[in-house]
Amino acid sequence: MSNENESVPVTQLKVYSKEGTLISTLELKDASYVIGRGEDCDIQCEGAANVSRHHAELTIRDGEAFIKDLNSTVGVMVNSKVVQASPLVTGDVIQLGMMKFIIELPPKQKKTDGAKSIVLNAVTEDAAAHMEQDLALISGRCAEIRAEVGKVIVGQSETVEGILAALLCQGHCLLIGVPGLAKTVMVCTFAKVLGLDTQRIQFTPDLMPSDIIGSEILKKNSDGIPELQFNQGPIFTQLLLADEINRTPPKTQAALLEAMQERQVTVAMKSFQLPLPFCVIATQNPIEQEGTYPLPEAQQDRFMLCLYLDYPSQKEELEIMVRTTARQTAECRQVIEQNEIIRFQQIVQGIGVPEEQISFAVSLIRATRPDSPEAKAAGVSEFIDWGAGPRAGQALIKGAKAIAAMDGRPAVAPEDILHLVIPVLRHRIACNYKARAEGITETEIIRRIVGKVRR
């Protein structure tokens, strides 16, 4: 029987919006397709956020597909991993900025293992070379950021490192320190160095949720007909400073929950996306508790890191006096673009984590739960009311990836996990009365756990 009338198998490329809605299904024949915002692109993503003019090239041939990054601003992701070039199989999810594609390949004849391995080896070597370049760029940029922040902030290197790590992981930070340790100045300095839009909210007892996320107001449209229009609140920014967050009631504190987790706010059953990158840095004063509202556990868990700011050393304090009382104060400059930050966040996701490091992180997290065998083995179960949940493990692995990337390394080491274990866990566990009576703090419990788990 003749095959002339049989249809030629085609590849399907399903296009989804950032909300996950299927926009269209494209049928593609064997060819190369340039994807981007440009009018000359074969697949045009008109008006798509963070998609470059010529973002990627999709090649389809003989039932196989291959995608290559065309030096885009934010990179190409396949199944949540940043790639420079990668073969594709049915079901692979391709992310270009805020656009998502899922590819479905037609059935194809099997090829020899030799031909397949040549392609994969070439891709692996190319991707490794690009990863090395990307990590060198991240490491260099982070060094520049530290240097610029250091022009204004004296010392506090661990806090600066923690904020950088959280930013690279798309996380949030809680800063705790006595008044006068430059918590607010530090956040404003970061905003300037990173080139991010910033807003400051001074949390007070009378602050309402609408003061943060915005509200609907009655306005006349172009036809002169009154209608409700959403007026955005200060949360629609990139770096949000929530100053003295524990001075407002839980109802207002909860207005940040959706924004911190979903990067969106919902008003009148409508969702509004927040600008990217988005990071919340909140501050607390640990010594003045009158008229304050402790953060609920669900709210604390949304913060990736809890960073304690300590008093400066004598040498650092002398330097502070000299810098801040002179006629001219130090100025910092912007050293990185917003799109570069988004690209770095995607690269950090691709950092490798050996299985033994994941097991190490899981053991640390489980040892914070009072009823677990790990906690009893570490001798801390009698001092804990409740421990950390799975989100703590996610934060620990993500943070370790960021530390490795800032050091220019493609894989996580045990030291990276230990570097962040205290700021990740200290606000996610609660000491009981017995621990308080014996002067045992959350930090001491974490140190005991680390000492036991490492053996």
Return mean pLDDT, the chain: 82
Output the CA torsion sign for 357, 358, 360, 361. positive
Q: The domain containing residue 199 runs over which residues?
A: 125-340
Task: Indicate the residue among 316, 340, 364 that finishes a domain.
Answer: 340
Q: Give the whole-angstrom CA distance, residue 145 versus residue 138.
A: 10
21-39 as b/e: b if 16+ CB within 10 A: eeeeebebeeeebbbbbbe
Please indicate, yes or no, whether residues 328 and 356 belong to a single structural domain of this protein: no
Q: What angle do CA 395, 398, 400 make, to 5 degrees?
A: 105
pLDDT at 98: 72
For 384, residues 6+ apart whose C-beta sits below 8 A from its C-beta are 368, 369, 370, 375, 429, 430, 431, 432, 435, 445
Amino acid at 340: E
Task: Indicate the residue among 280, 306, 340 that finishes a domain.
Answer: 340
Residue 209 backbone phi and psi in degrees, to 5: -55, -35
DSSP-assigned beta bridge partners for residue 66: 59, 87
**How much is the CA Rg of the chain, to the nearest whole Å?**
25
Residue 179 backbone phi and psi in degrees, to 5: -60, 145
Structure confidence by residue, pLDDT tens digits, 285-301: 877 666 678 888 888 88
> Residue for token digits 């340790």?
181
The encoded tokens of residue 317 equal 């304090």
Please indicate, yes or no, whether residues 248 and 283 belong to a single structural domain of this protein: yes
pTM of the model: 0.70
pLDDT at 113: 47
Please indicate, yes or no, whether residues 146 and 94 belong to a single structural domain of this protein: no
Output the CA torsion sign for 309, 315, 318, 319. negative
DSSP-assigned beta bridge partners for residue 25: 14
Please indicate, yes or no, whether residues 36 and 130 belong to a single structural domain of this protein: no
Residue 205: pLDDT band with limits 50, 70, 90: confident
Please indicate, yes or no, whether residues 332 and 394 belong to a single structural domain of this protein: no
What is the per-residue DSSP string for 220-273? E-TTS-EEEEEEE-TTSSSEEEEETGGGS-HHHHGGGHHHHHHSEEEETTEEEE
> Residue for token digits 């798309």?
170
What proportion of the chain, given as a percentage, has pLDDT over 90? 8
pLDDT at 216: 78
Please indicate, yes or no, whether residues 169 and 268 belong to a single structural domain of this protein: yes
Structure confidence by residue, pLDDT tens digits, 139-187: 888 889 988 888 888 888 888 899 999 999 888 999 988 888 888 888 8
Residue 162 backbone phi and psi in degrees, to 5: -65, -40
Please indicate, yes or no, whether residues 213 and 266 belong to a single structural domain of this protein: yes
pLDDT at 289: 67
Please indicate, yes or no, whether residues 221 and 335 belong to a single structural domain of this protein: yes
Please indicate, yes or no, whether residues 274 and 133 belong to a single structural domain of this protein: yes
Structure confidence by residue, pLDDT tens digits, 405-454: 888 888 888 888 999 999 999 888 888 888 888 888 888 888 988 888 86
Please indicate, yes or no, whether residues 298 and 209 belong to a single structural domain of this protein: yes
Kindly state the average pLDDT of the residues 118-125. Answer: 42
Does 118 reside within a domain? no
How many structural domains does the chain have? 3
More confident residue, 110 or 100: 100
More confident residue, 75 or 263: 263
pLDDT at 172: 92
For 129, residues 6+ apart whose C-beta sits below 8 A from its C-beta are none
Q: Which of 128, 133, 53 is nearest to 86 (CA)?
A: 128
Out of 78-92, 117-131, 212-226, pick the least confident.
117-131
Does 265 reside within a domain? yes
> Per the omega criterion (within 30 degrees of 0), is the bond before 277 cis?
yes
CATH (domain of 282): 3.40.50.300
For 383, residues 6+ apart whose C-beta sits below 8 A from its C-beta are 431, 432, 434, 435, 438, 440, 445
Does 114 reside within a domain? no
CATH (domain of 422): 1.10.8.80
Does 113 reside within a domain? no
Orientation of helix 157-168 relative to helix 414-425, angle to 10°: 100
Does 40 reside within a domain? yes
Residue 136 backbone phi and psi in degrees, to 5: -65, -35
Task: Indicate the residue among 307, 340, 373 that finishes a domain.
Answer: 340
Residue 3: pLDDT band with limits 50, 70, 90: very low
Residue 111: pLDDT band with limits 50, 70, 90: very low
What is the per-residue DSSP string for 335-372? -S-HHHHHHHHHHHHT-B--HHHHHHHHHHHHTTSTTS
Kind and range of the H or E run holding 390: helix 390-406
Does 115 reside within a domain? no
pLDDT at 120: 38
Structure confidence by residue, pLDDT tens digits, 10-32: 888 888 876 667 888 888 888 88
Please indicate, yes or no, whether residues 26 and 159 belong to a single structural domain of this protein: no
Which region, left, alpha or beta, applies to residue 116 given φ > 0 means left and ψ of -120 to 50 means alpha?
A: alpha
pLDDT at 396: 92
Please indicate, yes or no, whether residues 211 and 260 belong to a single structural domain of this protein: yes
What proportion of the chain, given as a percentage, has pLDDT over 70? 89
The encoded tokens of residue 191 equal 């905003």
For 201, residues 6+ apart whose C-beta sits below 8 A from its C-beta are 207, 211, 212, 234, 235, 240, 241, 242, 243
Structure confidence by residue, pLDDT tens digits, 34-69: 988 888 888 888 766 667 888 889 888 888 888 888
Q: Give the whole-angstrom CA distance, residue 303 versus residue 341.
A: 20
pLDDT at 116: 43
pLDDT at 395: 92
Residue 329: CB atoms within 10 A of its CB come to 10
Q: Give the whole-angstrom CA distance, residue 390 versus residue 340.
A: 30
Does 42 reside within a domain? yes
Does 116 reside within a domain? no
